[in-house]
Every structure is written in structure tokens, then in C-alpha cells.
Structure 1
């Protein structure tokens, strides 16, 4: 039997690991998507890099980080960040770039600057696609956070791997069940935020 204090401690570590890496991914991914709007060549370079990173198996990403940054919390954050970046960049870029050109022309016609168009026209219409990418990235970050326990990140993954090593079902369940519940919470919470900030009529048929 695993003590409740041990589970809560592992869960808090896992929570910080997941949300910090997700915040970093969002902070980098959304500006990259906006930057990709500048030109098709720039978009090709940014999307190509994101696709390349995503093509590398998760275990390989975690392993590559070790000789570069060592082991522990910070290397784990970087590994999760790399894995969560593509869906945020890709979905945000698609959402921003597929706005009706007539709306862009109308915005330019009333004197809006490029940034004002991005903020007031492109982003509101991009929210459904952008949040779909963020939710996928969040669930992905949650799962990769389990894997990073092999490089000393701690969290629920430590319980899972300890349980696997000792054939201890209690430890496996103590680590995996909270992670599953957290994945459900992530999806529900981001869906709620999306519903609150997305203007009515956008994203609905």
C-alpha cells in the first residue's frame, strides 16, 4: 500500500512538471505560429522544425536531453516542451491562416494595423483550432511527464516505474490513476476556457 502523503507529493511534482512545460510550449508555440504568418518560406521552416522534433520518438527525445542538459526537473521540462510544441504551433497557425480573406480586407479597409488584425480578427476565429492543439499538447505533456521519471524528474512516473520494477500493482495504480484523472481534468478545463473566450458563432456549424 502506498501512503497518501507519497501520492500527494508525487502528484504535486507531476502537476508542476506538466503545467510548467505546457506554459513554456504555449509561450513559444503561439508566437512562432504568428511569426509563420509573415511568409510561406518562414512558415515552411517553422513547421518543418516542429514536424522534425515531433517525428522523433518520445523515449529518444528524453534520452537525447540527458547528454545535453543532464538529469532532473529542468531537462524533463525541456523534453516535454519539445514534444508538446508541434500541436500548438500547427493548430494555431492553421487557425490564424484560414480566416476568410474578405474579413481581412474589410479590417484593412477600416484602418486596422497588422497586429490589430491578428488580435481582433484572426485570433478570435483561430480559438477552436488553437485550443484543440493546446488540449492535445496538454494531454501529451501529461503522458510524457510519466516517462521523464527515468531521468530523475520525479512525480507520478516514479511510482509507476517503481511499481513496474518490483511488480507492485499498488504503486502502478497509485501513479497511473491520478495521471489519468489529471488528463481528464486538463481536457475539461481547457474546453471550459475555450467556450468562455470564443465569440458566439465561431467554431459552430
Structure 2
């Protein structure tokens, strides 16, 4: 019973950390991608910074965060978010810009506002790329959340590291198996959400 309670508590901490990070990443990345549509300099800076952070090893990102923010949930969230931003920003930006210019001209011609163009043309076009980025970021956040146990984030990483330190295979598996299951669940749930939200005409594209 004690082991079950421990696993459930750690799993809950892990889920809260992963989804809090993912939500924060989405709320930052999508507005940045939209703003980048109208400012090439901003687009260059955002993509360069995201690529730069992505190139840094996860442990190094965590190590850099600690001297400035300390340890605990918030530093862990920021460390994970720095790695999770790139796929969402990049895929959303590509999806929003990969629209037939003639379609945008037609929308302007019939008097659609910029907000209507975003809502009815650009975003539906961007959904497949956007969700691919979000799915990848979610899986990435799930894996890095294991590493942030080193800085006191809690979650399944703590159990995994306890198993590694004590050469305890049972404890190691008690932490690793739920983490693997969560990765599969995250991927599947976002695949279903993408399928539900993507317009029918986008699903019927060649190669889809």
C-alpha cells in the first residue's frame, strides 16, 4: 500500500509538472509565432534563441537555471519550458506562414479582418504542424521532468534516481514504467485532439 501511494503521489506530481510546463509553453509560443508573422526581425530572434536553447543539453539547461532561480517546482518548470518552446514556436510559425498567398489576397478582397484571416484561414491551416509541435514538446517535457528531480521538482524522476543510486531494479521500474506509460498516453491523447480539431479538408490532403 505504501508503495502504491508513493507511486500515485509521484505520478500526480509528474503530471502536474508536465502539463503546467506545456500550458505555459503554449501560452508563450503561440503569441510569439503570431507576432513573428508581422516582424521578420522578431521571427529571426525568436527562432535563433529557441534553436540555441534546444542545442544545449538538458542537464546543462537545468544547471544554468539553478544559480538564478534555485531549486524546486518553478525552476524545474522554467528549465523544461526552455526546451519545450522550440517545437511549438517553429511548427506554429511554419503552419501559419505556409498558406497560399492567393487565399490571403482573396480573404482581404472580400473584406475579412486580420483577426478573421487568422481564425478562419491561417490557424486551420496550421493545426497539423502546430499539434505535431505540441505533441513533441509534451513528450520532451515528460522526459526532462524525470531529470528535474535532481533539483527538487518531485515526480517519478525521484523514484527512478533512488532506484539507480541504490541499485534497486524494482524501485527503478516503479518510476520508469509510469513515465513510459505517460509518454504513450500524452502522444495518443494529443493525436486524438489533433484529429478532432483539424478541419476535414486538411485531413483529405495527399499524404495525410
Query: Which TM-score tier does this pair reach, normalised by the shorter chain?
Result: over 0.9
Show the counterpart of 2:74: 74
Show the counterpart of 2:164: 164
SS of the aligned residue for 1:201 comes to helix
Distance between the aligned counterparts of 1:101 and 1:179, measured in 2? 43
Show CA shifts across 1:105-142 (max 9, x none).
11111111112111110000100000000000000000
Contact persistence 1:87–1:134 (CA under 8 A): yes
Q: Tell me, yes or no, if structure 1 residue 139 matches structure 2 residue 147.
A: no
Contact persistence 1:2–1:170 (CA under 8 A): no
Distance between the aligned counterparts of 1:81 and 1:39, measured in 2? 23
Task: Tell me the TM-score normalised to structure 2 length.
Answer: 0.96
Show CA shifts across 1:90-114 (max 9, x none).
0000000001111111111111111
Deviation (angstroms), 1:40: 2.1
Show the counterpart of 1:94: 94
Residue ranges of structure 1 left out of the alignment (5+ in a row) = none
Residue ranges of structure 2 left out of the alignment (5+ in a row) = none
Contact persistence 1:146–1:157 (CA under 8 A): yes
Show CA shifts across 1:121-171 (max 9, x none).
000010000000000000000000000000000100000000000000011
1:107-146 aligned within 5 A = 107-146=107-146
1:2-81 aligned within 5 A = 3-81=3-81
Number of aligned residue pairs: 205
Show the counterpart of 1:149: 149
Distance between the aligned counterparts of 1:7 and 1:26, measured in 2? 28
SS of the aligned residue for 1:112 comes to coil
Distance between the aligned counterparts of 2:40 and 2:113, measured in 1? 20
Task: Tell me the TM-score normalised to structure 1 length.
Answer: 0.97
Show the counterpart of 1:178: 178
Task: Give the superposed CA RMSD.
Answer: 1.2
Show CA shifts across 1:164-196 (max 9, x none).
000000111011110111011111111111111
